[in-house]
Amino acid sequence: MAAWTALRGESIKGLKARNWLKASESRTSKAMISALDFLSYLPRFLRERIVPNMPIPEVKNDPSKVQLIRLGHVYFEHPDLNKFAQFAKDFGFVEEKKDGNETIYFRGYGKDPYVYVATKSKTGKPRFLGPAFVARDQAEFDKAAKLPGASVRSMDRAPGGGQQVTITRPNGTFFHVVYGQTERKIDANTGAEPTATHDSQGPFNTPFEKRRLGQFQRYHEGPALVHKVGHFGYVCKECDEELEFYTSNFNFVHSDILWHPQFSNIDVLTFMHLDLGKEWSDHHIFFMQRAPPEVEETYIHHSSYEVADFDTQLIGHEWLAKKKWKPVWGVGRHILGSQIFDYWLDSSGFKIEHYADGDVVNEDTETRREVAGPISVWGPELPKDFGTDMTKLSFQ
Ligand SMILES: [Fe+2]
């Protein structure tokens, strides 16, 4: 995911002509939106004086905050667990453990014992139950356990064991911190990732440099095997309060902050990374979009999972299409974060992304601020409903 405007599902062509406050023609905020819509026609200096400032302040990490090192897994509830299990297999997850008929743990081929926990929904509705980040060490985990509203539980039943802190936010979302899991053993020395599609792949030959000599690129159809969960993000009603909570208690730092095209005094989206000092960290692991006025409650926009390379992406895309799952947007290349992306709808209507070749940053990378704009450098036209919570359409 790359920019706030994309979350709204507008075409690149339409970006210049439209704005956030003009987005909705429905529901409760119609009058308000009409008023703000009117304001957008005023000269910039005037409209930005009338509309209150909504800044996203810069943050710095410090040792008093809980230090997290990566996103380990995510929790989702699905009305039809078997149907999701079929999707998961086609998407490239591997089933690690089934706990009765209620819970399935899916893994990637990275160090995490699992990356996605799917549970049968008791309410019959899909629900996101939060991300689980891995604490740097026991001391950081203990710090998280002392945060207001935190509760600690054992993860004995889960593959790899460990302990988990859960924090319930006032807006009904959840945030988890884990520590003590037994990690999977990864043999990174083989030089090639596990694959379900690649028979033989050498380096790319370029016009000026032929590095693959007498060796052939050979592939077959199959799913795009997932390495890890890379990022997720909310369209958030309580954006300022939630950002304050996350950035004051954890080592989340802004990579890119975007402001509204018509109101430069309204910051609308941030892509955050984990500050790991000199160590390199994914450009975004968590993004937060200020919800447009017509959005009634905070929802997850999408979660995203890393795959090996471009060929994996494209073959995985064909595989999901062949299995009749619903494509959302892709394959394309994002601007902020640079990922090659491919978005799909899972069996419950959650948007879920394969990505490859993302940027990494470290403490020397400065936070950038810019206007929200086009979000892909190439790829299909952005679908109009990209910002919509599709789980609401089928499971009201
Ligand atoms: Fe994304």
Portion of the chain with pLDDT greater than 70, in percent: 90
How many angstroms does the Cα of residue 139 sit away from the middle of ligand 1? 31
Distance 321 CA to ligand 1 centre (A): 20
Quick one: pLDDT band at residue 40, thresholds 50, 70, 90? Answer: confident
Q: Return the bridge partners of 151, or none.
A: 166
Provide the pLDDT for residue 396. 56
State in Å: Cα 392 to ligand 1 middle. 20
Averaged pLDDT score across all residues of the chain: 91
Higher pLDDT, 177 or 28: 177
Q: Are strands 340-345 and 351-356 parallel, antiparallel or unpaired?
A: antiparallel
pLDDT score for 231: 98
Please state the rounded mean pLDDT for residues 30-40. Answer: 61
323 CA from centroid of ligand 1 (Å): 23
Residues with Cβ within 8 Å of residue 146, at least 6 apart in sequence: none
What is the model's pLDDT at position 293? 83
d(CA 143, ligand 1 centre) in Å: 29
List the single range of 20-24, 95-99, 245-249, 378-382 with lowest mean pLDDT: 20-24
Residues near ion ligand 1 (CB < 5 Å) are 1, 304, 353
Go through the domains of the chain in sequence order and give each one's CATH number: 4-9+63-183+225-394 (3.10.180.10)
Q: How far is the CA of 301 from the centre of ligand 1 (A)?
A: 9
Q: What number is the average pLDDT over the span 81-85?
A: 98
pLDDT band of 30, cuts 50, 70, 90: very low
Q: pLDDT tens digits, residue range 138-162? A: 999 999 999 999 999 999 999 999 9
Q: Which helix (H) or strand (E) holds 81?
A: helix 81-91
Higher pLDDT, 156 or 3: 156
**Cα(303) to centroid of ligand 1, in Å?**
7
User: Residue 35: its pLDDT value, please?
Assistant: 61
354 CA to middle of ligand 1, Å? Answer: 8
**10: pLDDT strictly greater than 50:** no
Query: What is the secondary structure of 287-303 as a DSSP string?
Result: EEEEPPTT--S-EEEEE
Q: How many angstroms separate the alpha carbon of residue 393 from the centre of ligand 1?
A: 21
> Where does 24-135 show beta strands of DSSP type E?
68-78, 94-99, 103-107, 116-120, 127-135
Residue 252 Cα to ligand 1 middle (Å)? 17
Q: Are the C-beta atoms of residues 197 and 219 closer than 8 Å to each other?
A: yes
Task: Please say if the pLDDT value at position 97 is more than 60.
Answer: yes
Least confident range from 36-45, 103-112, 309-318: namely: 36-45
CA of 79 to the centre of ligand 1 (A): 24
CA of 374 to the centre of ligand 1 (A): 15
Q: Is the pLDDT of residue 377 over 90?
A: yes
Ligand 1 center from residue 115 Cα (angstroms)? 16
pLDDT tens digits, one per residue of 171-215: 999 999 999 999 999 877 777 899 999 999 999 999 999 999 999
What digits encode the pLDDT tens for the residues 219-241? 999 999 999 999 999 999 999 99
- 230 C-alpha vs ligand 1 centroid, how far in Å? 8
Q: Let me know: does 100 contact 157? Beta carbons within 8 Å.
A: no
Rounded average pLDDT over 28-45: 65
How many angstroms separate the alpha carbon of residue 327 from the centre of ligand 1?
Answer: 15
CA of 353 to the centre of ligand 1 (A): 6
pLDDT band for position 19 (50/70/90)? Answer: very low
pLDDT score recorded for residue 13: 37
Query: Is 290 a residue whose pLDDT tops 80?
Result: yes
**Percent of the chain scored above 90 by pLDDT?**
82
Instruction: Tell me the CA–centroid distance for residue 1 and ligand 1, in Å.
Output: 3
d(CA 109, CA 8): 33
For ligand 1, the distance from its centroid to the CA atom of residue 305, given in whole angstroms, is: 8
pLDDT bin (cut points 50, 70, 90) of residue 8 is: low
